[in-house]
Chain A
Amino acid sequence: MKKLILFVTLVFTMFYLSSCGDSLPIEEDLSNKNYELLNQDSVEVTFPDVVSGKIAIVGYVFTNCPDICPLTTNNMRIIQEKVKEEGIEDVEFVTVSFDPEYDTPSVLKEYAEIRKLDTSNWTFLTGEKSETDRLIRDVGVVAVPSDSTEMEDGEMMYFYIHTDRIAIVDQEGRVRKNYLGSTNHLNLKCENCGEWIDQNVMINQDFVNCPNCNHRNEFESQLAQIIADIKTLAN
């Protein structure tokens, strides 16, 4: 009996140590999956093959979203600029629409153009709803029409409640980490007065002034974490 307990303890210890050592565990393996989609130029592509061999930063949006999704897109632009500035190669950016009936390739193209996004390494994906639904379900993104409004011509406009997410996918097509898409949620104790600071901050923000004592608390921004994770996967 003692031997059995010792064996079980050892197995658990090894399992615990091995999972702790990996800062980027595999969240979802898409390497053997193929999603037949269309890019912003209406070209048929297969995801994740379209970014195979490269690290991909993937965001999930619908273009009719006026508030959250533009922030997610803007954050991806910030990451793209930082990647370029740091000289990190072989990083691709992918935006997947979970509202493909509205977000046709031309709509996605216009969405990128009006925001002056650099599409040299940024692909926007749409396609059959069944296919985009399969993709977002597999990666654990939820997007459900919630509120709606009726237009004068009787057309119903639906607004989605959805997961707020940016993900990093490795060169093999495996999701390695998920981040909040629109803002970074901060929950830290002020190092001066000890009060909890609980608020959303921008992804490139690396300090916050305590609302209680105005002390400047510095921390690693989400942008810095994402760049560090990209570098980890690149090496």
Chain B
Amino acid sequence: MKKLIIILFSALIFFGCEEKKELKEETAQRVDESVSKKEQAEKKILLDAFEDGLHIADAWIRPAGKSRNTGMFFRVINNTNENDTLLSAKSELSQKTEIHETYKEGDMMGMREVDHLVMEAGNIFQFKPMSYHVMLIKLNEALAEGEEGEVTLIFKNAGEVKVTAKVEDKMPTISNDEQEEMKEVN
């Protein structure tokens, strides 16, 4: 009798947990879908604002001292019918220039180099804080707020694209009016 009670109790817990798990997955999927719907709407507005072609917008670099590292953040608007690939970046600002991503593991944060990034056709790719950035390693000169810096992005199809970025100490943008702040820089 005791064994039967234990088995029944365990089964109840097991199925209860399974149901919870399914519910959680379902909720997560619904949130993903709703986020995606909003992002799609935002993307359409932004894409419509740009002519055909590949564009770089809203580029900025964090200030940093000489021989230090810093990051450049921007958006790639691929208003073409073909995927493009960001292969590398180069700049006279630093001794080395790499494409990096920031990643999270528990409460730990880190960054690492990425080999290349695909810019989907008819889409916007964001290089933003806590995410992808162009890493300027060992600056040749200090970059202070208010200055400008030039970086060249090398794409598979679009070729070399020069970007002039403002040096600013920005926080991540959260405003719903983000698109209004965007300016084409090349």
Contact = CB atoms under 8 A, between A and B. Distances in A.
Contact of A209 (B28, B98, B110, B176): B176
Given A70-B169, A196-B27, A64 B102 contact: no
Contact of B31 (A114, A142, A180, A211): A211
B35 interface: yes
A159 B113 CA distance: 10
Contacts of B104: 164
Interface in A70-107: 70-71, 74, 107
A85 to B, nearest CB: 18
A199 to B, nearest CB: 9
Interface stretch (B14-22, B65-73, B150-158): B65-73
B130 A165 contact: no
Contacts of A21: none
Interface residues of A, number: 44
B38 A151 contact: no
A174 to B, nearest CB: 21
Contact of B142 (A114, A146, A197): A114
Contacts of A154: none
A64 B31 CA distance: 36
Contacts of A68: 102, 109, 111, 130
Please indicate which of the listed interface residues A116, A160, A164, A205 has the most CB atoms of chain B within 10 Å of its own CB. A164
Interface string B35-72: 10010000000000000000000000011111011110
Contacts of B130: 67-68, 71, 182-183, 200
A180 B109 CA distance: 11
Nearest to B103: A161
A67 B129 CA distance: 6
B107 A114 contact: no
B112 interface: yes
Contacts of A157: 69, 96, 137-138
B1 interface: no
B133 interface: yes
A163 B104 CA distance: 10
A163 B107 contact: yes
A19 interface: no
B98 A162 contact: no
Contact of B68 (A64, A180, A211): A64
Given A149-B96, A211-B31, A212-B34, 5 more contacts: A66-B70, A68-B130, A110-B68, A114-B65, A151-B137
Interface of B: 27-28, 30-31, 34-35, 38, 62-66, 68-71, 95-96, 98, 100, 102, 104-105, 107-113, 129-130, 133, 135-138, 142, 144-145, 169, 171-172, 174, 176
28 contacts: A63-B64, A63-B65, A65-B69, A66-B70, A66-B100, A66-B136, A67-B71, A67-B111, A68-B109, A68-B130, A110-B68, A111-B68, A114-B145, A115-B169, A147-B113, A149-B96, A151-B95, A151-B137, A157-B96, A157-B137, A161-B105, A164-B107, A164-B109, A180-B107, A195-B34, A196-B27, A202-B172, A212-B31
